[in-house]
Amino acid sequence: MSLISAEKEILAVNGGTSVRKTLLPYGRQAIDECDIQAVVDVLRSDWLTTGPKVREFEEAFAEWVGSKYAISFSSGTAALHGAAFAAGLKAGDEAITSPLTFAATANCILYQGATPVFADVSRDTLNIDPAECARRITPRTKAILPVDYAGHPADLKAISELADSQDLIVIEDACHALGAEYRGRKVGSISHMTVFSFHPVKHLTTGEGGMVTTDNPQFAETLRRFRNHGISSEARDRQSTGQWYYEMTLLGFNYRLTDIACALGTQQLQKLESNLERRREIAARYNAEFANMSGVLTPQVLDGIRPAWHLYPLRLQLERLSAGREEIFRALRAENIGVNVHYIPVHLHPYYRDRFGYGEGAFPVAEKAYERLISLPMFHGMRDEDVEDVVRAVKKVIKAFCF
């Protein structure tokens, strides 16, 4: 039986009754008593930061994704900055990345004095198009930063082959993709460096936090020093050996993640498999309800891929609708469905327009997608009733505007 009647319902934005009484956010953290206790235990310990929980979290994380090293940072943005530094980006260099991402992916290139060069995305997954990357390589190019948009890995094989042929470093922005799998391998074990975020809307949270995984020992050592002011040793190691002497060997930052955060992350890591499974259940439900519905396109998943489903981005078929994305966004919000938009293409932000002279039409695939994208609520704490509310609201709103 359909979740809505054959007749069009009056939308809440037009005075009708909303599907929900309270707002369902597009994402949020899930914290239980075990998480709280893990944090309390650290608060009662001798180390609140630079202590044993940092290494414990890093080692457990590296084992989970299948990398040799994992280096924690105070945020995903800090982790991106660290990876750009470890890759040796500097003034005069270029690095290629996607325009359809959060600004931090491109900003980390600027932090190093290098120039971000955008390459348009593929129409299917909205991940960076390897052919477009190849067209933008110059003698100044030093790195490629693919983004695993919404949790679907980029075309990592093609990107890796391209990078190897040009002696480039791949910094994979997997802030959406913890737990995703690419051709049987977990994201985090494939690229030269892979960056993760532990923001509250992600698959596990440390409040704020990030991680870089790598198999390269030189990258790992540089990352550790960079997050700690460029200092060659850490406070806990010096205390355990009874030493005081240290040296600053490079210009770093204070990007350390605390023991408090790492205790939470270690505890959350134990629930990651179940969190991922729940997100996949929700995505399957959305796919079943929306795959054949006029007015929307569901996300495409390529063969050999298991997405992590950080986001569930619908694309509106505007040619079949009497309203634009903004009107549909407002209508769904009025139904108390906390939809969002991911993302305004980076090159269209005022800073990038003013500094680099970008304008509309520079990356048409990304720009067309942006005009049609709307992210539905997707987080592992959603109840079945929440999912049904989203389904009902989307059907109600799209039906109201569909030709």
Question: CA 185 to CA 174: how far, in whole Å?
Answer: 14
Cα separations in angstroms, 167 against 147, 162, 173, 194: 20, 9, 19, 17
Q: In 202-271, which residue ranges form alpha helices assigned H by DSSP? A: 217-226, 235-241, 259-269
Question: CA 346 to CA 350: how far, in whole Å?
Answer: 9
- Placement of tokens 């060069």 in the chain: 117
Contact 224, 55 (CB under 8 A): no
In DSSP notation, 45-75 reads: SS-SBSSHHHHHHHHHHHHHHT-SEEEEESS
Beta strands at 305-306 and 181-182: parallel, antiparallel or unpaired: antiparallel
Contact 86, 193 (CB under 8 A): yes
- Placement of tokens 């990352």 in the chain: 223
Question: CA 184 to CA 347: how far, in whole Å?
Answer: 34
- The length of the chain in residues reads 403
Three-state secondary-structure class, residue 207:
coil
Element (H, E) at 157: helix 156-166
Question: CA 112 to CA 232: how far, in whole Å?
Answer: 21
Question: CA 318 to CA 338: how far, in whole Å?
Answer: 21
Among the options 142, 202, 395, 399, which is catalytic?
202
What is the side-by-side order of every strand in the sheet holding 181-182?
Answer: 185-186, 181-182, 305-306
Q: Identify whether 271 is a catalytic site residue.
A: no
Contact 106, 366 (CB under 8 A): no
Question: CA 256 to CA 364: how far, in whole Å?
Answer: 39
Question: CA 121 to CA 297: how far, in whole Å?
Answer: 17
Q: Is 297 exposed, middle or buried (0-12, 13-18, 19+ CB in 10 A)?
A: middle
> Could you count the other beta carbons within 10 Å of the beta carbon of residue 52?
16
* Catalytic site positions: 202
